[in-house]
Amino acid sequence: MQTFRRLAAFTAAALLTTLAPAQQPNLAKVIAQLDQASTKFQSTQADFEWDTYERVVKETTKQSGTIYFLRKGAETQMGAKFTSPSVQILQYQNGIGERFDPSLNQIDQAKAASFAAFLTLGFGGSGSDLAKSWIIADQGTEPITVDGKTLNTEKLDLVSKDPNVRNNFSHITLWVDLQRGISLKQQAFMPGGDYKTSFYSHIRYNEKIDTSPYAIKRNSKTTIVNH
């Protein structure tokens, strides 16, 4: 289930250093920009590559696929389809996170109250909501190259205010396009020294999303494991 938690925590995603300095003159402006961007956000769809480094074995594993975030009233639903190294579906809707492995015909399912907090991490969440759940350190602007274009981003480092989240992630760094309120890159650090880096490309912003490729197709033989 640890793998599922890491995947869920990151769609998206799903990604925190020392406490934020007492005075950050630019942080209030950044939060205001994210608040404004959030009012315009409807959806985002992108290709992703997630690189996970495991300190003990000193190896990096790669996963890739497509992901979407869709605003539904006051909530955001998410779906991710992994195409490499194997096909899997990750889904979050109505407060429940699910991971489907077609090769096993099995769904790992969990009620994820804290999952919603991760959905604010650079995909349509307001700056005010971000500040409620995370201690934010603004590390200034940093250019990121996506699809051959260099874009300015705001580099934000986050520490969760929830001790249960900190047990899984010591801190998360985001590179955020403030105009659209979306992350172009994320990096999540685990207490044991492992870390996950997420890259997003071919970003489709506020376009109509066909969610059918992300649907979990159940049948009478599908096994559901509750966590």
pLDDT (0 to 100) of residue 115: 56
pLDDT by position in tens, the chain (length 227):
555 455 544 443 343 333 334 447 799 999 999 999 999 999 999 999 999 999 999 999 999 999 999 998 878 889 999 999 999 999 888 878 889 999 999 999 876 655 555 555 778 889 998 999 899 999 999 999 999 999 999 999 999 998 888 888 899 999 999 999 999 999 999 999 999 999 999 999 999 999 999 999 999 999 999 87
For tokens 């981003």, the residue is: 153
pLDDT (0 to 100) of residue 19: 39
The residue ranges of every structural domain in the chain are 2-226
Rounded to the nearest 10°, the torsion over CA 127, 53, 48, 107 is -90
Distance, first Cα to last Cα, the chain: 8
pLDDT (0 to 100) of residue 56: 95
Per residue in 13-26, pLDDT tens? 343 333 334 447 79
Q: Cβ(96)–Cβ(154) under 8 Å?
A: no
Pairing state between β 223-226 and 106-111: parallel
Q: Which amino acid is at 20?
A: A
Q: Around 93, how many Cα atoms within 13 Å sit in the side-chain half-sphere?
A: 13
pLDDT (0 to 100) of residue 14: 40
CATH architecture of 2-226: Clam (2.50)
In the chain, what percentage of residues exceed pLDDT 90?
68
Buried b / exposed e over 65-95, threshold 16 CB at 10 Å, is bbbbbbbeeeebbbbbbbeeeeebbbbbbee
Rounded to the nearest 10°, the torsion over CA 226, 91, 179, 173 is 50
